[in-house]
Structure 1
């Protein structure tokens, strides 16, 4: 009986050490899991009230969730994770009335604006060229 108790205790302690956090510390390949719709920041920023459902679907793609109980609501969700830990998550919820876009909300809008501003800041500004002058980008 002592051997059985010791074996059960050792097995219990061994299994307790195998948590997801500790396993993620081992240097091994972890598969990147992408779920949902990755939204183009330019498309998210170009949403305007009054757009039809077809226009929105052409712009953003098929929504991840069309709730049967809320027919005038579309949800776009995007998650990126490794080893069960979510690294990035974005949500966009669109509300329609009479097949026209009324309201858009979610953290994907702020993230899209932030990404576009960062991309615009990285692009060098071009100074208008004088006739006969060489092209020289202006560095900030």
Structure 2
């Protein structure tokens, strides 16, 4: 090999060595579920994944054994899972995964005999407020804005200027319109 060729390859070999050495400097990346940033700078977007029907205590309280399938569907919505081989069972499954909160999974099963509800298996469904609080990103200790003035603040407001004379009636505006037809 000629000395000119080996000198030409030297910068390439040097860049390759520095590039591979730089890779060992990179921090080890955590798993996707734990990664909040990439290289401590870039935060990837992660969208909320919501699937299924939310079944609350209030809805479960409306369900009674002996109800028709249509009545159950009106209250709980369409089931997420219906099986041809288990036509007497409707599964209502709800899952949510969103950044900053714990993943949740709830399952409710409605058992039918013919067209009538036999039983509803709903292990400890949340109330509506409980559910909203469990998926909310707003912290419970976050400062809430004050939407109403206190009586002291109302007294401190400037008073509107008094008007002694009643407003005079203004004459209606005078308008002149061109004729509709040409004469």
Q: Above 0.5 in TM-score?
A: yes
Please state which structure has a larger fraction of its residues in strand. Answer: 1
What is the alpha-carbon distance in structure 1 between the residues aligned to residue 51 and residue 27 of structure 2?
30
- 5 Å-filtered alignment, 1:1-140, equals 7=20, 10=23, 17-24=29-36, 29-82=45-98, 87-107=103-123, 110-112=124-126, 115=127
Rg comparison, structure with higher value: 2
Change over 3 Å in CA distance of 1:61–1:21 after alignment to 2: closer
Change over 3 Å in CA distance of 1:29–1:88 after alignment to 2: same
Contact kept? 1:78, 1:91, Cα under 8 Å: yes
Contact kept? 2:59, 2:75, Cα under 8 Å: yes
**Offset at residue 70 of structure 1 (A):** 0.4
Structure 1 residues without counterparts, runs of 5 or longer:
119-140
Bigger RCO of structures 1 and 2 (CA < 8 A, at least 6 apart): 1
Please state which structure has a larger fraction of its residues in helix. Answer: 1
- Give the total of aligned pairs: 110
Instruction: Provide TM-score, normalisation by structure 1.
Output: 0.61
